[in-house]
Amino acid sequence: MIVERVRSIDPEGHESARDVRLGDGDERVDGRGLVALPGLVDLHAHLREPGFEESETVATGARAALRGGFTAVCAMANTVPAIDAPGLVAELVARGHAARGARVLPVAAITRGRKGKELADLVELARAGAVAFSDDGDPVEDAHVFRMALEYGRSAGRPILEHPQDRSLSRRGVMHEGRVSADLGLAGIPAAAEEAAVARDLAVARLAGARLHLQHVSTAGALELVRAAKRDGLAVTCEVTPHHLSMTDAWVAGSRAFVWEDESSTGVPYDSTTKVNPPLRTEADVRALWSGLVDGTIDAIATDHAPHASIRKEVEYAEAAFGISGLDTALAVLLMAVQAGMGDIGSVVRALASGPARVLGIAPYADDAVLVDPTAEWIVGADALASKGKNTPLLGRRLRGRVVAAVVGGEVRYRDDGALKGRRRGHAEAIARG
Amino acid sequence: MRWQRRHVLSTEDWSRDEIELVLEQATAMLEVLARPIRRTPALRGRTVVLFFAEASTRTRMSFELAAKSLSADTSIITASGSSVEKGETLYDTVRTLQALGAEIIVLRHSASGAPYFVAERVSASVINAGDGWHAHPTQGLLDALTLRGALGDLDGKRVAIVGDILHSRVARSDVHTLVPLGARVVLCGPPTLVPSAWRGGSVPDGVAYEPDVDRALADADAVIALRLQRERQEAGLLPSLREYRSTWGITEERAARLRPGVPILHPGPMNEGVEIDASVAHGPRSLVERQVTNGVAVRMALLYLLATAGAGTEQAGDAAASPASPAEVPA
């Protein structure tokens, strides 16, 4: 189709108004009020296959990604078994192709079995199709092993994505340590648990002289460490999640107000959909992350999509699994934040397109694109989510911003016919003619 | 003032009037408990389930006695270990309780917030009998009743709570019950056992943190000592129980320096010789036994208010949910 006179944003975040071709066909669509985005790349998602297919599969995750505007999604390796052998990577690649949703980019484990002891066969994993390495879910605790991973990872030509968490500080914490955890009587995860790990990771990366990507940075202090390291010329990149850009630890106590909203909507305290690692932090952290996004300290926005079957969440807060299902809602939340003035659309698109591509060392996918209606409102209901994971604190909330079409490799793989119908050229004229 | 609530989860969002209503009702219940036959038919035919998913003897017995004094049918379920280990989730268990016709579920659980989880998923009323580190509202109310008895009006009174604040649902519920009644609460304990935010000055209204126990006690009108669980020392949160006693314990010497008439409370069970000396625990300032009696009365009052609130809404103007005088509570 050809989308006419649409506001178009390129992978670097630059805007223009023009006609955009999506896939084949000569169908002409009125693009006024819509936004054409490049294909978005999610650096961080848990597709749960193999091992946790009741939470998500490659097929459902790839479709959820596409519905959410991501035309490529990195699948983390903390499955059972962990993705630490070339055959497993190849199988993921095959299932990703078969899903015909977003491109599925396998991330392989850094260490065998994700146990943090010995390196996995990084070069062979890369040859089989791994785009990066990560033990995400766990940090590589042993600093020597981490150094070897960074140094050896260079021969594989793929980045190391590290989950920064000092477990001796986070211990059995279940939420951010602060006033809210004190009042709720929940064990806290201090900001320092992330900051101590980031400081170590940066020191080791400096020693190794190798590139490092830090996952889900959530505190103002951690961001400041990355900013200083970049200033020193260290080859470090980092990502932030949509939930850390919009929600605070007050959500654990029942708030459902985004950081840019007045406190109004309230839910129930101790709702385990708010339990996520790293935890939802304070408003000051959220605001610091937005300035880091706008000034370029943050390279990418990644969902850390963590779907869970209800049995893992419908339990006491302390027992519940960590994670928020995020692929379906990420783009809407970010567009709402932009509309509220938290940051500019260019910075957000850059962090969803060229930024993650740079982290992976690839070019943005020129044949991918996404068409969005930024004013379409929808209610986050279990049925409205393409992901099998319904574990989001946004359940029941009204969001604004919806993907109406998504193109992968020049092929329209998703289109919302209902939304496009009234925009077909000729349609309005036909109605006018009666 | 009419009773409106379906659940008793925490007194944090209660008004002063609501707290007063429960204390008045509890005072009426104390008179029932003073009768030769301590039983009224107020809850005859009603089903109260005591679901104690965490070990407890005192609170469970107190609730059981309260329910029986109101002639309710009671069932006791005890469970230990986490739901995940057992293979049966909390959700499964409460659905079963619901199916069995429980009208009031009294829940003790080791996880903060568990009563909120249950209250969201059952039609029964839920009373929180202690959840993790979060709240123990009946303890807060019985401490308020006890302090009212000893000090009268609590307006402007200074209550020092000493010990393991971080892990204490009693401390949180005491704060959320005593402060609305006008008291000021001073929290005192080892820095490792007080939440970092509270130590840093971000404290609930009416609360102050005082690191020095002797300063905390110097102008106190009442003292509440908290139980120190021995695991805290094993977990590295303090060097030794001996040092704890000498630095934060309510010792005989410290008790002697308190102003005359200042009472000492403890939620029990006590580690005598650690957080409180035996001579203080059983001395003239101690209100520990009074707390036990008041606990039964407070729990009777809440069971009564929850069980009769529904009847009150059916008949507008019905006084069923207002505090009953001893005469009105059928003997």
DSSP assignment of A220-238: HHHHHHHHHHHHTT--EEE
The encoded tokens of residue A240 equal 């932030």
Backbone angles phi, psi at A387, to 5 degrees: -70, 150
Characterize the bridge pairing of strands A411-415 and B47-52: unpaired
DSSP characters for B275-331? TB-HHHHTSTTB-HHHHHHHHHHHHHHHHHHHHHHHHHHHSTT-GGGSPPPTTTS--
Closest CA of chain A from B91, distance in Å: 7
For A280, which DSSP code?
Answer: P
Q: Which residues contact A326 (CB under 8 A, 6 or more apart)?
A: A45, A241, A242, A243, A303, A304, A305, A306, A392
How far apart are the CA of B237 and the nearest CA of chain A, in angstroms?
13
**Residue pair B170/B137 in contact by the 8 Å Cβ criterion:** no
**Cα B290 from chain centroid?**
14
End-to-end CA separation in angstroms for chain B: 24
**From the candidates A168, A270, A274, A313, which should be mutated to test the interface with B, based on the most B CB atoms within 10 A?**
A270
- Number of Cβ within 10 Å of residue B79's Cβ equals 16
CA distances from A296 to A159, A346, A404, B7, B19 (A): 19, 11, 29, 49, 53
**How confident is the model at residue A428, as a pLDDT?**
57
Give the closest-approach CA distance of A224 to chain B in angstroms. Answer: 22
Say how many C-beta atoms besides its own lie within 10 A of residue A172's C-beta: 9
Specify the number of domains making up chain A. 1
The sign of the CA dihedral B224, B199, A318, A250 is positive
Query: Would residue A304 show up in a list of annotated catalytic residues for this protein?
Result: yes
Of all helices (H) and strands (E), which one includes residue B187?
Answer: strand B184-188
Give the global pTM.
0.95
Distance from CA of B319 to the nearest CA of A (A): 31
Domain-embedded: residue A53:
yes
The pLDDT value given to residue B327: 43
* Spatial CB neighbours of B32, under 8 Å, sequence gap ≥ 6: B38, B40, B69, B300, B326, B329, B331
> DSSP for B64-101?
HHHHHHTT-EEEEEE--S-HHHHSS-HHHHHHHHHHTT
Residues of CATH 3.40.50.1370 domain(s) within chain B?
Answer: 16-134+291-308, 137-288
Assess contact for A264 and A294: CB atoms under 8 A.
no
The answer to the question of residue A12 being in a domain is no
- Residues of A with Cβ-Cβ distance to B198 under 8 angstroms: 179, 182
Q: What radius of gyration, in Å, describes the C-alpha atoms of chain B?
A: 20
Contact B205, B212 (CB under 8 A): no
Interchain proximity B169–A178, CB inside 8 Å: no
Closest CA to A303 of A284, A265, A342, A276: A276
Per the DSSP assignment, residues forming a β-bridge with B188 are: B162
Asked whether residue A300 is domain-assigned, the answer is yes
The answer to whether A182 contacts chain B (CB < 8 Å) is: yes
Partners of A177 on chain B (C-beta within 8 Å) are 196-197
CATH, domain B16-134+291-308, list 3.40.50.720, 1.25.40.10, 3.40.50.1370, 3.40.1160.10:
3.40.50.1370
Would you call A319 an interface residue with chain B, using a CB distance cutoff of 8 Å?
yes
Alpha-carbon distance of A122 to B179, in angstroms, equals 60
Contact at 8 Å (CB) between A6 and A31? yes
Which residue bears the tokens 């009419």? B2
| Tens-level pLDDT at each residue, chain B (331 residues) | 889 999 999 999 999 999 999 999 999 999 999 999 999 999 999 999 999 999 899 999 999 999 999 999 999 988 765 454 567 889 998 888 889 889 999 999 999 999 999 999 999 999 999 999 999 999 999 999 999 999 999 999 999 999 999 999 999 999 999 999 999 999 999 999 999 999 999 999 999 999 999 999 999 999 999 999 888 888 899 999 999 999 999 999 999 999 999 999 999 999 999 999 999 999 999 999 999 999 999 999 999 999 998 554 433 333 334 455 544 554 4
- Distance (Å, rounded) from C-alpha A365 to C-alpha A408? 8
Q: Which helix (H) or strand (E) holds B198?
A: helix B196-199
A428 in any annotated domain? no
- 3-class DSSP state of A98: helix
Q: Per-residue DSSP letters for A189-200?
A: E-HHHHHHHHHH
Backbone angles phi, psi at A265, to 5 degrees: -75, 130
Pick from A177, A182, A315: CB nearest B83: A315
CB B193 within 8 A of CB B164: yes
Q: For domain B137-288, say whether CATH 3.30.360.10 is its number.
A: no
CA distance B270 to B281: 8
Residue A315 and residue B131: Cβ atoms within 8 Å? no
What is the residue-level pLDDT of chain A in tens, covering all 434 positions?
Answer: 999 999 999 999 999 999 999 999 889 999 999 999 999 999 999 999 999 999 999 999 999 999 999 999 999 999 999 999 999 999 999 999 999 999 999 999 999 999 999 999 999 999 999 999 999 999 999 999 999 999 999 889 999 999 999 999 999 999 999 999 999 999 999 999 999 999 999 999 999 999 999 999 999 999 999 999 999 999 999 999 999 999 999 999 999 999 999 876 678 999 999 999 999 999 999 999 999 999 999 999 999 999 999 999 999 999 999 999 999 999 999 999 999 999 999 999 999 999 999 999 999 999 999 999 999 999 999 999 999 999 999 999 999 999 999 999 999 999 999 999 989 887 656 565 65
Look up the CATH number of the domain holding residue A215. Answer: 3.20.20.140
Cα–Cα distance between A342 and A37 in angstroms, integer?
Answer: 19
Identify all chain A residues contacting B91, using CB atoms and an 8 Å cutoff.
Answer: 314-315
Top residue of A183, A266, A316, A317 to mutate, by most chain B CBs within 10 Å, is A316
Give the HSE-up count for residue A344: Cα atoms under 13 Å, Cβ half-sphere.
11
Which of B83, B84, B133 lies at the smallest CB-CB distance from A185? B133
- Across the interface, whether the CB atoms of A182 and B197 are under 8 A apart is answered yes
Cβ contact (<8 Å) for B198 and A182?
Answer: yes
CB contact under 8 A, A179 and B113: no
Residue B20: which H helix or E strand, with range?
helix B16-33
- The residue range of the domain holding A119 is 40-368
Catalytic residue among A285, A304, A328, A373: A304
Residue pair A74/A81 in contact (Cβ under 8 Å)? The answer is no
**Is residue A299 situated within a structural domain?**
yes
According to DSSP, the residues that pair with A35 across neighbouring strands are A7, A372
B3 and B312 Cβ atoms separated by less than 8 Å: yes
Question: Both tokens of residue B194?
Answer: 């007080």
Angle between helices B137-151 and B58-69 in degrees, nearest 10: 80
DSSP state of B133: T
Q: Which two tokens stand for residue A266?
A: 């309230």
How is residue B96 written in tokens? 């079963």
Residue type, B228: L
Please name the residue that has the structure tokens 């009743």.
B145
In a mutational test of the A interface, the residue from B88, B116, B121, B173 whose CB has the highest number of chain A CBs within 10 Å is B116
In a domain, A344, yes or no: yes
Do B172 and A183 lie within an 8 Å CB cutoff?
Answer: yes
With CA atoms as reference, the chain B residue closest to A316 would be B114
Q: What is the pLDDT of residue A303?
A: 98
Of B12, B113, B204, the CB nearest to A270: B113
Please tell me the distance in Å from A340's CA to the nearest CA on chain B: 29
User: How far apart are the C-alpha atoms of A335 and A205, rounded to whole Å?
Assistant: 34
Nearest-by-Cβ selection for A177 from B112, B131, B196: B196
